[in-house]
Amino acid sequence: MKKLTLLGGVTPAQFLKEFWHKKPCVIRQAIPGFAPIISREALFEMAGRDDVESRLVTHFRQKWEMQSGPLDAIPAITKRDWTLLVQGVNLHDDAADALLRQFNFLPDARLDDLMISYATDAGGVGPHVDSYDVFLLQAQGTRRWRIGAQQDLTLQAGVPLKILQRFAPSEEFDLEPGDMLYLPPNYAHEGVAIGECMTYSIGFRAPSYQELGESFLQFMTDSIDLPGQYADAELAPTTRPAEISAAMLAQVSAELNKVQFTRDDIAIFLGEYLSEPKSSVSFEPVKRPLTLDKFMALAGKRGVRLSRKTQMLYRGELVFINGESFAVSRADKALLSVLADQRTLDGEAIATASLDVAEALHDWYRQGWLLLEK
Ligand code: SIN
Ligand code: CO
């Protein structure tokens, strides 16, 4: 695949400073001569699978309708005004994964997925905002984007998708294959297909603090440690037996206030949370796994790579993979952080692995999280 010129002569540092999370940017020929990596037929087939998230949006006779996948029927390509959206294509296809990984000047903790949309003439999903940053790469045909920085984000009532009630775009662009539009969160936009078209959305996730807080408290239930039990040796007779006494409240408050969380607790939570596979993702354990010794001998020759579906992150001496966390030594961390950043390790590096790392790699291989290079 051709390397992205991606930001059209702007360096990643300049792009982040000026545009990222702030304002839209059109990049003409981000990937010169770009050609679709997946055929229309292959995309339609993916939409029929139950391990792939997909949606069909139609706007026939001015009525918005949406159907969630797996889809057993797709409208005729000769019919106008419909869109098929397939989420997480990178989880199922090497070329899609490679395209997504070209955006690795941005952290994996933010990178979400590659969604592919296919539309017939006039197809689109209506004017809306998304809560995430997105790069919209035109893959085939032409899409007309109209965008605007409006404050009024009121949605139309009674429609099965999020459509802005009043859309007041201020700019319009026709994107051709290889062109890319970056949009920050909550920027109003509508893309309409001019003839048959395919658009790739590279989306970035940003968890809400509410979502993080709820998950963090759940995570902490496993680690809180509050010894002792309520005691009231000084109890005096009461004439108001239904009242919770101030003394009881004070004692319980003092005890519950002992629940503390450290930066380490937060780091472990965050790494596990951000590396947790989506509910639609499943791994296939290797059917007849090699023994540890055989695996390491082969890995030392061929190298290993992470499965497309694996999310591996690190922070300090903590390493996270698919929702699990490990505290590792400095030397092991040096090796594992290369695997996490590059998503591959060559044989030479593997030959230096400690027994702990060898066992971890073998375990991940057996679970289908990591593969031997061919
Ligand atoms: C599309 O590709 O059809 C929609 C993408 C978007 O507007 O977010
Ligand atoms: Co959008």
125 CA to centre of ligand 1 in angstroms: 6
The structure's pTM equals: 0.92
Q: Residue 11: what pLDDT?
A: 87
> In order of start, what are the domains of the chain with their CATH numbers?
12-204 (2.60.120.650), 207-223+258-374 (3.40.366.30)
Give tens-digit pLDDT for 194-241.
Answer: 999 999 999 999 999 999 999 999 999 988 889 999 999 999 999 999
Identity at 48, one-letter amino acid code = G
Q: Residue 119: what pLDDT?
A: 98
DSSP structural state of residue 267: H
Does 126 contact ligand 1 (Cβ within 6 A)?
no
Q: How far apart are CA 175 and CA 181, in angstroms?
A: 8
150 CA to centre of ligand 2 in angstroms: 15
207 CA to centre of ligand 2 in angstroms: 17
Give the whole-number percent of the chain exceeding pLDDT 90.
Answer: 94
Does 141 contact ligand 1 (Cβ within 6 A)?
no
Residues of the chain with pLDDT under 50: 1-3
* Bridge partners for 318 per DSSP: 315, 327
Q: Residue 230: what pLDDT?
A: 96
Ligand nearest to the CA of residue 145, numbered in listed order: 1
Helix boundaries (H) for the chain: 12-18, 40-47, 94-101, 209-221, 246-256, 263-275, 292-302, 330-342, 347-350, 355-367
Does 201 contact ligand 1 (Cβ within 6 A)?
yes
Q: At what angle do helices 292-302 and 355-367 cross, to 10 degrees?
A: 90
Task: Quote the tokens at residue 94.
Answer: 């090497």
Q: Which positions ≥6 away from 331 have C-beta within 8 Å?
A: 354
5 CA to centre of ligand 1 in angstroms: 22
Q: How far apart are CA 109 and CA 305, in angstroms?
A: 19
For a mutational test of ligand 1's pocket, the pick from 59, 82, 85, 183, i.e. the residue with the most ligand atoms closer than 8 A to its C-beta, is 85
CA atoms within 13 A on the CB side of 261: 17
Does 125 contact ligand 1 (Cβ within 6 A)?
yes
Which residue's CA is the closest to the ligand 1 atom numbered 4? 125
Which residue's CA is the closest to the ligand 1 atom numbered 5? 201
Q: How far apart are CA 272 and CA 35, in angstroms?
A: 36
For a mutational test of ligand 1's pocket, the pick from 115, 121, 187, 194, i.e. the residue with the most ligand atoms closer than 8 A to its C-beta, is 115
Q: Which atom of ligand 1 is nearest to the CA of 115?
A: 2
Q: Which positions ≥6 away from 199 have C-beta within 8 Å?
A: 116, 117, 119, 136, 137, 138, 139, 143, 175, 191
Q: Residue 10: what pLDDT?
A: 83
Q: Residue 8: what pLDDT?
A: 76
State the CB neighbour count (10 A cutoff) for residue 73: 7
Q: Residue 4: what pLDDT?
A: 52
10 CA to centre of ligand 2 in angstroms: 24
184 CA to centre of ligand 1 in angstroms: 14
Which residue's CA is the closest to the ligand 1 atom numbered 1? 117
Does 117 contact ligand 1 (Cβ within 6 A)?
yes
Give tens-digit pLDDT for 250-284.
Answer: 999 999 999 989 999 999 999 999 999 999 899 99
Does 83 contact ligand 1 (Cβ within 6 A)?
yes
For a mutational test of ligand 1's pocket, the pick from 167, 201, 204, i.e. the residue with the most ligand atoms closer than 8 A to its C-beta, is 201
